[in-house]
Chain A
Amino acid sequence: MNATIKRAAVACMVMFALLMINVNYLGAVKAGEYSTDNRNKRSFYARYGVDRGWITADNGKTTLAKTVDTGDKTFRYEREYPAGRMYAHVLGFFAPESARGIELNENKLLNGSDPDLVVGRLIDFVSKKPPKGASVDLTLVPAAQKVAYDRLRASGKRGAVVALNPKTGAVQVMVSLPTYDPNDLAAPDKAKVAAAYNKLADDDTDPLLNRAIEKTYPPGSTFKVVTAAAFLEADRSRDPETTVPAPQVLDLPDTTAGLPNYGGAACGSGEVTLRFALERSCNTPFGQIGMDLGWDTMRSESAKFGIGEPIQFDLPTAGTTIGPEIETAALAQLAIGQRDNQQTPLQMAQVASAIANSGVLMRPTLINKITDPDGSVIEELRPDQIDEAMSGEVADELKQMMVSVITNGTGTGAQIPGVTVAGKTGTAEAGDAPAPHAWFIGFAPAEDPQTAICVFIEAGSAGNDATGGGTAAPLARDVMQAVLEAK
C-alpha cells in the first residue's frame, strides 16, 4: 500500500502547493486591485485614520479647517470647518470618497503622504502613532474675507469677490455666493454625504460652483482698460489726452445694427479724450479702437494679461478668451467686453493687479506657507512674475485714468476717504438675460497699491438693478478698506 500512500502524499503536496501559489498571487499580484476596490471600505476608513494637517490663514492665527480626535476606533479623526460657508469654495471639503479645493490640491501634504514628509511618516509608523499631515497656511486676509462675504450676502445677489496683493500675487479675498457648508460634506458617512452633495449639485443656483474661478462671464466695460492698454502700447505717442472719435452710435461694417453707448447716451461732443471715454465708459470710442487695432493686436495684448493663457493656480480655473475671430463687427463688441469675451473674476482682478504693479503680472497664489508636523517650513510663498503686461509708463497712464474714473466718472461709489482709489466699472449684457452682470475692478492706494480687486455680481440674481457703479463699486470699496486696515 506504500506506493499508493506515497501518491496520495504527492496529491496532498500538490493541494498545498496550489493553495500557497494562490495565496501569493492574491497577496502580491491582486492585492492592489482588491485594496482599491470601492466596495472595500478600508481606504474609506484609512482617510479618517490620519491626523490631517490644519488649514489656517493669517500665519496660523485663524483656523479654517481643523482635525478633531474623536477617539472613535473606526473614524478617529474628523474634519471640521469652523468658518463654515465663508471659505467653502477655497477650502473645498474632505468627503468620504472625494475632496475639493485646497483639501484636494494639497491632499498629499495634508495627509502626510507627500515625499517631503516621508521621514516623519516612517517614525510614526515605527512608533505605531497615527500618521500626521503638514499644515497649510493661506494668504487670505480673514477680516477682508468676512467683509466681502457679509456684504455680498447682504446684497442678496450671486457673485464673487477676488482681491490680490498686486506685488506678490497673494490672494487676499476669494468669496463666491451662493455657498454651502463644507461641514455637511465632511462627515464620515457615505450615504449622508452623498445625499447632501446631490442636493447641492441639483440646486439651480449652483452653490458648489466657485464663481471666482470656475466659470467665465462677459466682463463688460471693465475690459476697456485692456483695450486702452492695447491702444496706448500700440503707439507710444498716444496718452490719456489723445482724442478718439465718440459718435452716439458706432456704425458697424457688414451689418445694419450699430453699437450705441450705454443707454444710448451721447459721449461728449463726438470726439473726446481717452481719459474722458474711460471715465464715462463710452462704448463707441473703444469699439472703434478695437476695430482699428485688429484681431491679432487685441489677442496678443490681452494675452499679456494672461487672458486665453493657461494659468497655474492652486485651484482649477476655467479658461478665459476674448472670443473667436469672426468679423470686424464682433471686434468692436469684444473690445468693450461683450459678445464672446469671457473672463473669470480672478482674471479681471489680475488685470487690475498688473496695472497696479506697474505693468508686471504676478502669478496668483493661495499658499502662504506649508509647515510639517514638527513645525519646520517645507514651502513658502515666493512671488513669481508671469509676464510684463505693459510698460511701466502705460501702466502709470492707465492708473491716472482709473483714478479719474473714481473721482469724476462712473466709479465714485468706490471712493475711500483719505485713500486714492483707482478703478473701472462694468455692466455687461449677459446673453438673453434681462439684467446685466455688474463688475468692478480697481486697486488702492493708487500711489502704492496694496490690494487689487474684482467684484462680480451675476446677472439677474436678485432684481434687475445691478450696475457696476451702483452695486459693485461700494462693495469693492468696503473690501479694499478692510484689506488696508488689516495691514
Chain B
Amino acid sequence: MTTAPVAEAPAVPMTAKRRGAQLIMLAFAIVVVMGAYASVGLGIDGQIPSGTFTYGLGLAVLMFAAYGVLAKWAPWADPLLLPLVTLLNGIGLVFIYRIEQTGQAGASATNQLMWTALGVVMFSATLIVLKDHRTLQRLTYTMGALGLLLLIMPLLPVIGEDVNGANIWIKIGPLTYQPAEMAKMALVIFFAGYLVAKRDVLALAGRRLFFIDLPRVRDLGPVLITWGLSLGVLVLQKDLGSSLLVFGTFIAMLYIATQRTSWVLIGVLLFVGGAVLAGQLFGHVQDRFEVWLDPGNPEFYSRELGGSEQLMQGLFAMGSGGILGTGLGQGFPREIPLSFSDFIIAVVGEELGLTGLMAILMVYALIVERGLRTALAARDPFTKLLAGGLSFLLAWQVFIIVGGVTRLIPLTGLVTPFLSAGGSALLTNWILIALLVRMSDAARRPPPQAIQNEGLTQVFTR
C-alpha cells in the first residue's frame, strides 16, 4: 500500500493589498483637484487663487488621514474606492468654490470643506468602530425603525422645516439637516437584513402567469408596506426623488435576494400606478411630467412654481458648454437656480463640457463597479445583499438626478453624491463608502488556510 502523493493545496488566489497604488492614485486625485482650483482662479481673474494651497492642503491632509485609517483598520480594502471618492469630493469643492465666486447665496466652499472633514471623520469612525459589518445584521429592525423615524422627522412639528415647497428638512437650532439622506442608508441595511432572513419564503412561487412565476399573495406584505412608505414620502413631503430612490433600491435588492423577476414587475407597476394616482391628486407630480415632455414651452418656462426655467437654464448651460466646455471659471453658473446643489452637474457640463461630464460619470460608474465586485466576492448573503444594495443605491441616485438634469427622465430633486453642496448627503455618502470599504476588506482578505491532509506534512501556502 503506497501512500497517495501529497496533493498540492489548491492555490487560493492571493489578493494583493495594492496600498502603494492606492497612495499614488490618491495623490493624483489631489493634484487634479488642486489644478482645477488654480484653473478656476485663472479663468475668473487671471490669478491663481490664494485658497489653492490651503484648500488643496486641507483636502490632502484629510484624505491621507483617511488613507492611514484605511491602511490600519481595513488593509485589504479595495484600493480604488478612496481615490475615486476623493476626486469626486474635491471636484465638488472646486465647483462650489467656483459658484461661490459668482455670489450665489448658499454656496460656500469653506462649509463644504468643513463637512468633508466631518465626512472623513465619520468614514474613519465607521472603519474603526465597525470591525465586522455583520454586526449590522443584528441591528436589522433597529435600522428599519431608525430609517422610518428619520423619514418622518421633517413632518414633525417644531423641528420640521419647509424649504421650497418640500418638507425634507429638519432644523435644530441653527443646524438644518436632511434626514432622508441618512434614512436611505439605514433602510438599505434594514432591507439587507430582512431579505436575507426572509428570502426563501419570498422566493416561493405562487401562481404562474404566462411565463412569470407570481409570488404568493400573502408574501406581498413587505412590498406593499415599502410602497406605502415611499408613497407617503411622495405625498406628504413632496419629495419625488427620495421616494423613487428608496422604492427602486428596495425592488432591486428584493430581486437580488429572491431571483424573481416578478418582483421587479410588481414593483414597477405599483410605483407607476402610485405615481399616476399621486399625479392625479397632486399637481406637482404632473407638473414635473409636463415640463419634462416640453420644457421649452414658454408657458412652462415662465410658470412660477413647478416651471421649467431651472431645467432649461441647466440645458442652456450644458448646451453652451458643448464638447470641451468653456473652461473652469468662464461659464455663467449663476444663471442656473440652485446650481451648487441639485444642478451642479449642469455647471460641470458648461465649464468642462461633455468631456468633463463623461469623466465624472465614469468615476461614478467605477465606484459602483467596485461596490458590485465586492458584492460578488463577498462570502455571506448579508454582505452580498448589503454591498449590492448600497452600490445600486449610488448608481440609482446618480441616474435619477443626472438623468433629471439632462432631461433623460423627469426631474426629481436629489443631491448629486459627493458633488453637491450639503452636509447631510456628504456625511451619509462617506459612511456608505466606509461600509463598502469595510466589506471589500472582508471580501478580499485571504481566508485562513485550511490544513491539508491532517497527519501528513503540513503544507503552507504563503
Contacts and interface: CB of A to CB of B under 8 A. Distances in A.
B335 A18 contact: no
Interface string B291-317: 000001000010000000000110110
A128 B357 contact: no
A171 to B, nearest CB: 40
Given A4-B257, A22-B403, A40-B320, 7 more contacts: A12-B391, A13-B365, A31-B319, A35-B319, A40-B313, A40-B319, A42-B320
13 contacts: A1-B381, A12-B369, A15-B399, A16-B399, A19-B402, A22-B406, A23-B358, A28-B323, A31-B320, A33-B319, A35-B316, A37-B312, A40-B313
A8 interface: yes
B361 A12 contact: no
A54 B331 CA distance: 27
B332 interface: yes
Nearest to B360: A23
Contact of B349 (A5, A16, A23): A23
Interface string A14-41: 0110111011101110111111010111
Contacts of A45: 332
Nearest to B368: A12
A21 to B, nearest CB: 9
B318 A8 contact: no
B121 interface: no
Contacts of A37: 296, 312, 316, 319
B15 to A, nearest CB: 17
A28 B354 contact: yes
Contacts of A27: 318-319, 321-323, 349, 353-354, 357
A419 interface: no
B295 to A, nearest CB: 11
A6 B388 CA distance: 10
A1 B402 CA distance: 29
A39 B323 CA distance: 21
A20 B315 contact: no
Contact of A5 (B323, B388, B406): B388
Interface in A40-99: 40-42, 45, 73
B357 A5 contact: no
Contacts of B407: 22, 26
A3 interface: yes
A324 to B, nearest CB: 44
B320 to A, nearest CB: 4
Interface in B188-224: none
**Which of B315, B316, B365 has its CB near the most chain A CB atoms (within 10 A)?**
B316
Contacts of B349: 23, 26-27
Interface in B201-253: 252
A128 to B, nearest CB: 7
A376 interface: no
Contacts of B408: 18-19, 22
The range of chain B's interface size is 35 or more
Nearest to A14: B399
B361 A23 contact: yes
Nearest to A10: B372
B259 A26 contact: no
Contacts of A40: 313, 316, 319-320
A11 interface: yes
Given A19-B399, A37-B316, A8 B388 contact: yes
A255 interface: no
Contacts of A4: 255-257, 259
Interface residues of A, number: 37
B384 interface: yes
B416 to A, nearest CB: 12
B372 to A, nearest CB: 5
A118 interface: no
Contacts of B31: none
A37 B314 CA distance: 13
B253 to A, nearest CB: 9
A12 B396 CA distance: 8
A19 to B, nearest CB: 5
Nearest to A40: B316
A25 B321 CA distance: 13
Contacts of A15: 395-396, 398-399, 403
A2 B378 CA distance: 10
Interface string B387-422: 010011001101100110011100000000000000
A257 interface: no
Contacts of B315: 26, 30, 34
A9 interface: yes
A31 B322 contact: yes
Contact of B372 (A12, A22, A24, A26): A12
Contacts of A23: 318, 349, 354, 357-358, 361, 406
B271 interface: no
B385 interface: yes
B376 A2 contact: yes
A20 B408 CA distance: 10
A78 B392 CA distance: 52
Contacts of A3: 259
B375 interface: yes
A45 B331 CA distance: 10
B332 A42 contact: yes
B364 interface: yes
Contacts of A11: 252, 392
A1 B257 contact: yes
Nearest to B345: A23
B110 to A, nearest CB: 22
B27 interface: no
Nearest to A27: B354
Contacts of B51: none
A18 B319 contact: no
Contacts of B320: 31, 34-35, 40, 42
Contact of B319 (A1, A20, A26): A26
Q: Which 10 A-B pairs have the closest CB atoms?
A: A34-B319, A27-B354, A40-B316, A12-B395, A15-B399, A35-B320, A22-B408, A31-B319, A16-B365, A4-B256
B165 interface: no
A388 to B, nearest CB: 54
B266 interface: no
Contacts of A33: 319
Nearest to A45: B332
Given A5-B388, A8-B392, A34-B320, A20 B259 contact: no
A30 B295 CA distance: 14
Contacts of B296: 37
A252 B157 CA distance: 98
A1 B385 contact: yes
A71 to B, nearest CB: 11
Nearest to B321: A27
Given A15-B399, A19-B406, A27-B349, A41 B332 contact: yes
Contacts of B48: none
B42 interface: yes
A168 B332 CA distance: 48
**Which of A1, A9, A73 has its CB near the most chain B CB atoms (within 10 A)?**
A1
A4 B195 CA distance: 14
B46 interface: yes
A15 B252 CA distance: 13
A59 to B, nearest CB: 35
A228 B290 CA distance: 72
B384 A5 contact: yes
A20 B353 contact: no
Interface string B369-385: 10010011000010011
A55 B368 CA distance: 59
A15 to B, nearest CB: 4
A156 to B, nearest CB: 46
A41 B321 CA distance: 13
Given A8-B388, A27-B321, A1 B256 contact: yes
A22 B402 CA distance: 10
B82 to A, nearest CB: 20
Contacts of A18: 399, 403, 408
